[in-house]
Amino acid sequence: MHKQQIGLIDCNNFFVSCERLFRPDLERVPVVVLSSNDGCVVARSKEIKDIGIPMGVPYFQIKDILRKAKAVVFSGHIALYRDISRRVFEVVRQEVDTMEQYSIDEAFFFIPADADPQAYIAHIKDTVEQQIGIPISIGVAASKTQAKYASTIAKKTRGLHICDEAQWESLVSEIKVEQIWGVGAGLARKCKQHGIVSVADLLQLDTSRVDAVFGVVGRWLQSELAGVITSPVESKRLLQKSLMNSRSFSKTTQDIAILADAAAYHTRQIAAELRSMGAACTLLRVSIRTSRHGDFFLRGGSKEVVFQAPTADTFELINTAETLMQELYEAGVPYQKVGVQVGGIILQSDKPATLFADTRPDTKALLQAMDVLNISAGRELLTIGSRLRTDAWKAKSETRSPAYTTRWKELAIVSA
């Protein structure tokens, strides 16, 4: 009987692979996908990685290089990627006992004790690639954190890698802490200060020192790296904890009317999303930010309000967001981004009765009718709380691909 192993599925160059699904002619052609506002590179094909373009680099800095490389550039189209992601992991879910989707392109799963791991993961890979057409890699090891590292080896080899105990032990002295999932710039700096360079160094540190220096995060990391499953594979809760909507402006603004308009827009999006989930929230947070580059980078912040009763009412949420915006706003500061976030999400059916009579007007029917219209239009036909007719802060997308799978009019013709 051997120890339980964990696998990590990772879609290769996911956003690029999604675009290629509908443009097979782009196979082996350098392709990048950009973030909203065409700000920076968020996905790169192998050809792009090979010419040394890093992840997250601002688009304007590499425009020329891309042109010379005859690269094809897409504006990010997240609704399409989400839809394809759903299809990929629907297939995976059929193949495994327990699956935990970790991000839009990754999921953990357990290898069954009685399975031959190599054959098991090879079958998953083949099935996904045949049925959906998105290439994937799979790494397997003793814990999530180890599996994550195994998947980086998988990507460099033939897409599958099983890292057993013996191999892991032979590797730990070569793996640098900053290569580990969960170790970012902050933790890496702290490790360096304490003379911890490799994973082996971290493993040798005694528990009380780990606690004192790194707190619970360090303790968690140490166990995971030692092959102890601290975080088992769990199918995610049905409901996420928070929902967020935010966007950078194409240019900064000091105008509170524009900021309030943006906040109202994000709030409407979230309220509609809550209603489509059949959920409500008990907390709303508004945040405003300046550019990270320049003199005002420390200005801005966030404020939140907790509701007495859960709500998904656009009117109530917008009123709250507006109040928070007024409190946050400082004249003369060039703001670049507005975000709205809700938390304490619960299903409406779980909604506890309040002790106090609900004196708010019943807006349910009106909001429902509005949702139906807006959803079928694929955009905001009817809005609440918008006083401006400005698109100053909205996204520009130069090269977005059509909404192949999410809007009927743009549906791709697929021949069997």
Interface of this chain with DNA, residues 276 to 295, rule: CB under 7 A: 285, 291-293
Cβ(199)–Cβ(178) under 8 Å? Answer: no
- The sign one gets for the Cα dihedral 193, 198, 199, 200 is negative
- 177-187 burial string, b = 16+ CB within 10 Å, else e? beebbebeeeb
Stretch that binds DNA, among 117-125, 132-140, 177-185, 256-264 (CB under 7 A): 177-185
332 CB contacts (<8 Å, ≥6 apart)?
Answer: 254
Residue 60 found at the interface with DNA (CB under 7 A): yes
Which one, 268 or 285, has the nearer CB to DNA? Answer: 285
Q: What length does the chain have?
A: 416
Residue 7 beta carbon to DNA: minimum distance, rounded to whole angstroms = 15
For 328, residues 6+ apart whose C-beta sits below 8 A from its C-beta are: 286, 287, 288, 300, 301, 302, 303
241 binds DNA per the rule CB under 7 A: yes
Of residues 5, 13, 222, 248, which one binds DNA by CB under 7 A? Answer: 248
Count of Cβ atoms closer than 10 Å to residue 338 Cβ: 29
Find the shortest distance in angstroms from Cβ 53 to DNA. Answer: 14
379 binds DNA (CB under 7 A): no
Query: Stretches 34-42, 46-54, 164-172, 402-410: which one binds DNA (CB under 7 A)?
Result: 34-42
Binding part of the chain for DNA, among 195-203, 243-251, 373-381, 384-392 by CB under 7 A, reads 243-251
Footprint on residues 2-31 left by DNA (CB under 7 A): none
307 near DNA, judged by CB under 7 A = no
Residues 343, 285: contact at Cβ < 8 Å? yes
Minimum distance, C-beta of residue 107 to DNA, in the bound complex (Å): 10
Pairing of strands 5-11, 72-75: unpaired
368 forms part of the interface with DNA (CB under 7 A) = no
Distance (Å, whole) CA 26 – CA 74? 12
Q: Which residues bind DNA (CB under 7 A)?
A: 35-37, 39-40, 42, 56, 58, 60, 102-106, 148, 180-188, 215-217, 220, 240-248, 251, 285, 291-293, 301-304, 306, 336-337, 339, 395
